[in-house]
Chains A and B, each alone.
Chain A
Amino acid sequence: MSFLEVSDLRVEFPTSDGLVKAVDGVTFTVERGETLAIVGESGSGKTVTNLALMGLLSKRGSRLSGSAIMKGETSTLELIDLADDQMRKIRGKNIAMIFQDPMSSLHPYYTIGDQIIEAHQAHNEVDIEVSTARAIELLEMVGIPDASNRLKAFPHQFSGGMRQRVMIAMALVNSPDLLIADEPTTALDVTVQAQILKLLRELQSELKMAIILITHDLGVVAGAADRVNVMYAGKIVESARVRELYANPLMPYTHGLLASIPRMDRGHGKRLSAIAGQPPSLIALPAGCAFAPRCTFTERVAGGSDRCKSSMPALTEHTPGHFARCHLEGAKL
């Protein structure tokens, strides 16, 4: 059994305009020590999937179904539908999360030290001195110089990259088994992004944790992930090992996404091949493949474009470990 097994996860938000199917039957696994990237555009459901795993969705505002089983050292745990007080014991200890915006996810009125120490105290019955020592150790680990003095600093005294390091230190203070990093470098400059990605790689090989990396940046994925799930309109449309996915994309959406990135190694002045149209509304999803209205391959499908519009293709395994959701025969792009 894998370390984390998510199966048929669904998240729906009832709104006055209709039911929003943010996550629509998502199944995947994560192994210990592995980085799984979840890639997709805004509104594809990548963040909501992980908020569901963390138990951070309001029970009143959303409908949750499916299962997510995490293997602990002695027992297994079902994360979906876990009681609040039990979830609180796991969150921050076994599963931790780094959010996108380091500016708004630290409390401005508390010092860096207070916030990291609180995260440690919440899960360990130890003296405050022990937690302080742990906080200093973590800050040093993430590369903040003069850590013992910096504990007394407030978030506004730090730059964006430093704050993201603090967030990482806070997330790792209880040595979690699973780290969910939601766009950890999106708000940062490229040179700082390179620092943070390098840090995450080093920490992972040291601590052997599983990482779920949520991002829209296929460049970041190429350097940081072992496996990739591509999401579109709440569904996984392609899943493969990272090299396989980039070398041989099987789903037209992945193909289009890779072709539409301006690339430094491809000279300038060439026209980008954009994907026409826009992602569909999650309230009125088409009956068939959600990508069909933007897809340029529908005519080549056996049974014609009507088939793409009327029936949703299943996520099928084309080569070992490479899954794609497309009607195209043998998915030849």
Chain B
Amino acid sequence: MSENPIVEVKNLQKFFPITSNSIFARVKGENKAVNGISFAIERGETLGLVGESGCGKSTAGRTILKLYEPTGGEIYFNGENISGYSSRRMKPLRTKMQIIFQDPYSSLNPRHSVGEIIGAAFTIHGIDSVASSKRDIKGSVQELMERVGLNPEHYNRYPHEFSGGQRQRIGIARALALRPEFIVCDEPVSALDVSIQAQVINLLDDLKGDFGLSYLFIAHDLSVVQHISDRVAVMYLGKIVEIAPTEEIYQRPHHPYTKALLSAIPIPDPVLESAREQIVLTGDLPSPANPPTGCVFNTRCWKAQARCFIEEPALQMVDQSEVACHYPE
């Protein structure tokens, strides 16, 4: 761990209230989407955040950017504790932290041209040094379009005139507009075809070096995450169960859940695929409104012992990995 990570979260929590469906809406319970996670992202690093749907990975990403108000815990950005900041105090920081969304269809306003979508960032933040007039905004936007592999002449086109991969490039250009330091990539390639997916992954990889970016890369596809990340955190039911350098986590997974998750991914090679051993987990993810006591994974774990149902395991070092398990592999 270096002295000054770009982003650090300590015991971050985000609960969503579950209300009854009457006019006297009353809180019946809480959906514990993110339930106490801690990690740091170094400058220039890509941290992969993986897990199944409903594990809280997207909520975590959005809470770090303060798009959701955290229920508890602290968020540090460049050493500054931003967890209690109002949206007005957040605004100048927003130029430094950005997000790329999963669905390139619903995340672009269909009534705005590409130029307006990407240029909006300059207008909203009144960035004079980059663009002092309308004309300069156009120049900066076209430069960005070129950088992400779009034709700058398409400045006046509308999102429906672009394919999925191109739309995702528009989303990337928009995120890059204000020269951010940190980008949350929330499943940026999940909606794309395989051949296009590779183009976008390569682009994100190049931009990271060129712009000196740090990424929080959220995805459910472990092979994509492995490709792009320096370290990987595995989430399950609102908790981080394992966090380790990429090579380590894929070579030597220590948490049973990580092991099962990795073994569930099909390898695109029929010979290897038929030879390898697969751990097929039984059952589904428990409800985050009512997580199991003790270890969150105990309902599906084949190694669970009495202790796992009583005592919640904390993250502890095993080799180079931090693992939350009483009986790590």
Query: A residues bordering B, Cβ < 8 Å?
Result: 41-42, 159-162, 189-195, 197-198, 216-223, 242-243, 246-247, 256-258, 260-265, 267-276, 278-279
Contacts and interface: CB of A to CB of B under 8 A. Distances in A.
Given A191-B281, A260-B198, A262-B198, 7 more contacts: A194-B278, A194-B281, A222-B270, A222-B273, A260-B195, A264-B250, A274-B201
A189 B99 CA distance: 23
Nearest to A281: B163
A154 B137 CA distance: 53
B269 interface: yes
Contacts of A274: 195-196, 198-199, 201-202
Contacts of A258: 268
A191 B264 contact: yes
A256 B195 contact: yes
9 contacts: A190-B220, A191-B52, A195-B282, A219-B265, A221-B268, A246-B270, A265-B267, A268-B226, A278-B166
Interface string B199-218: 10110010000000000000
A189 B270 contact: no
A260 to B, nearest CB: 4
Interface in B242-277: 246-247, 250, 260-274
Contact of A190 (B52, B195, B282): B52
B23 interface: no
B13 to A, nearest CB: 24
Contact of B266 (A162, A222, A243, A270): A222
A217 B197 CA distance: 12
A189 B194 contact: no
Contacts of B166: 278
A186 B222 CA distance: 15
A41 B270 contact: no
A189 B205 contact: no
Contacts, number: 139
A275 B200 CA distance: 11
A195 B280 contact: yes
Among all A-B residue pairs, the 6 with the closest Cβ atoms = A219-B266, A274-B198, A260-B198, A189-B52, A275-B195, A262-B227
B80 interface: no
A273 B194 CA distance: 11
Choose among A218, A256, A258 the residue with the greatest number of B CB atoms under 10 Å from its CB: A218
Contacts of A267: 247
B270 A263 contact: no
A263 B250 CA distance: 11
Given A261-B194, A274-B202, A243 B270 contact: yes
Choose among B53, B201, B247, B269 the residue with the greatest number of A CB atoms under 10 Å from its CB: B269
A264 B280 contact: no
A66 to B, nearest CB: 26
Contact of B223 (A198, A221, A261): A261
Interface of B: 52-53, 163-166, 193-199, 201-202, 205, 220-224, 226-229, 246-247, 250, 260-274, 278, 280-282, 284-285
Contacts of B285: 159
Contacts of B229: 268
B205 A271 contact: yes
Contacts of B164: 42
A276 B246 CA distance: 28
A257 B222 contact: no
Contact of B227 (A218, A220, A272, A275): A272
Contacts of A261: 194, 198, 223, 268
A257 B195 contact: yes
A270 B223 CA distance: 12
Contact of A276 (B199, B266, B267): B199
B52 A264 contact: no
A263 B268 contact: yes
A269 B228 CA distance: 6
Contacts of B220: 189-190
A311 B273 CA distance: 38
A251 to B, nearest CB: 13
Nearest to A220: B266
Contacts of B197: 260
B264 A223 contact: no
Contact of B268 (A222, A268, A276): A222
B266 A268 contact: no
A263 B223 contact: yes
